[in-house]
Amino acid sequence: MIDVVAMGELLIDFTPGGTNSKGMKMFTQNPGGAPANVLAMNARLGGKTAFIGKVGQDAFGTFLWDVLRGEGINTSGLVFDPITPTTLAFVHLDEKGDRSFSFYRSPGADQMLTPKEVALSLIDDCGVFHFGSVSLTHDPSRSAVFHAAEYAKKQCRLVSFDPNIRPMLWDNAEDIRIQIERAMKYADILKVSEEEMAFLTGTQDLDAGSKCLLDKGMALVLVSLGEQGAYYRNHCSFGCVPGYPVNAVDTTGAGDTFIGAFLWKAKRMMREELAFMNPVQLKQMVKFANAAGALTTTGSGAIPAMPDLEQIQSFMQEKEEVLSCRQ
């Protein structure tokens, strides 16, 4: 059985790679795309994963195919487009390691996946189906994603949704809201950033915003708070789990690592189990995900910087020992 199937964009992230002898900026080619990052983290922990999406039949597409296979991710659902090129994104980092993006996608191959090309058989054999909103910006990929999400729901799979909003890829803010509201109807787990919660609910208050989102039909809402940790809410508890302080180099993929690690913990759970989970167990799952996300920021690129299970456990133990000494 496949633990997690993820669907959406798969692209090239060009991340800052220093300067050359003439002082000009250089960029390093890295695999990117939130759904693929989620799977890579899950696979790094030993999970069985599969990807559904589309890349160009070009050097970049081949590189991405190789990376996924190298991470142990099932690529039978990856389609190559002979006409449209692989999507590219340039990542810009500020002094804190926080990033912004410039996309080259007019169109990109990830937008061209059609409903008929979706490998539904992978969903038949999975525990969790995960998707985001980047592939909801335009058809035919929008129709393909909703086709898969509806199928997953009918098959009683646990459905995870991370909007991962990139405003520059959308025509307007109203279209973002419409499509995300539609996507949330399929979701059991909703993971949003603090900014996304405010955009979708109109409030920055974590208590009110998370409750508003939960009331839309979720079993569990997770709000990532960057270095501050994460806020969680299900149908019997809510609260904040502090993050782990680290010297961040690059925050690219930290949120994807967080939800990837969390889904690894939730891979055999049912919707009702998550909705009414014991708060102590839920906090431990979020704590584990926080640790994975924090460790990823200490390296460059998303997938290359992701930790394995031993690294996460050692990191958590080390931090706990430091805390015990201070007490």
Q: What is the pLDDT of residue 327?
A: 38
The pLDDT of 187-214, averaged and rounded, is 98
pLDDT reading at 324 higher than 60: no
Q: What is the pLDDT of residues 189-200, one digit of tens each?
A: 999 999 999 999
Q: Which of 53-67, 98-112, 131-145, 300-314 has the lowest mean pLDDT?
A: 98-112
pLDDT band, very low/low/confident/very high, at 96 (cuts 50, 70, 90): low
- pLDDT at 218 > cutoff 50: yes
Instruction: Report domain 2-8+34-84+110-319's class.
Output: alpha beta
Q: How confident is the model at residue 10 (pLDDT cuts 50, 70, 90)?
A: very high
Closest CA to 130 of 290, 8, 288: 8
Domain residue ranges of the chain, discontinuous segments joined by +:
2-8+34-84+110-319
Report which of 181, 199, 195 is spatially closest to residue 226, judged by C-alpha positions.
Answer: 195
Q: Would you place residue 13 in the very low, low, confident or very high pLDDT band (cuts 50, 70, 90)?
A: confident
Whole-number pLDDT of residue 326: 41
Dist CA 118 CA 292 (whole Å): 30
Q: List beta partners, residue 254.
A: none
CA neighbor of 286 nearest in space, from 233, 230, 234, 216: 230
Percentage of the chain beyond pLDDT 70 is 96
Q: What is the pLDDT of residue 321?
A: 62
> How is 164-179 classified by DSSP, letter by letter?
---GGGSS-HHHHHHH
CB 80 within 8 A of CB 26: no
Helices (H), the chain: 34-44, 59-70, 120-124, 141-154, 173-184, 194-201, 206-214, 254-266, 271-275, 279-296, 309-326
* Confidence at residue 319, expressed as pLDDT on a 0 to 100 scale: 84
Determine which of 13-17, 212-216, 218-222 has the lowest per-residue pLDDT on average.
Answer: 13-17
Q: Report whether pLDDT(322) > 70.
A: no
**45: exposed, middle or buried (C-beta count within 10 Å: 0-12, 13-18, 19+)?**
buried
Tell me what the mean pLDDT of segment 77-98 comes to. Answer: 87
Give the lowest-confidence range in 15-19, 158-162, 264-268: 15-19
Predicted pLDDT of residue 99: 67
Question: With bands split at pLDDT 50, 70 and 90, how would you rate the model's confidence at 277?
Answer: very high
Whether the per-residue pLDDT at 227 is higher than 70: the answer is yes
pLDDT for the residue numbered 320: 80
Average pLDDT of the chain is: 94
Lowest-confidence pick of 15-19, 146-150, 231-235, 314-318 = 15-19
**Predicted confidence (pLDDT) at residue 64 exceeds the cutoff of 50:** yes
How distant is the alpha carbon of residue 232 from its chain centre? 16
Report the half-sphere exposure of 41 (CA within 13 A, side-chain side). Answer: 34
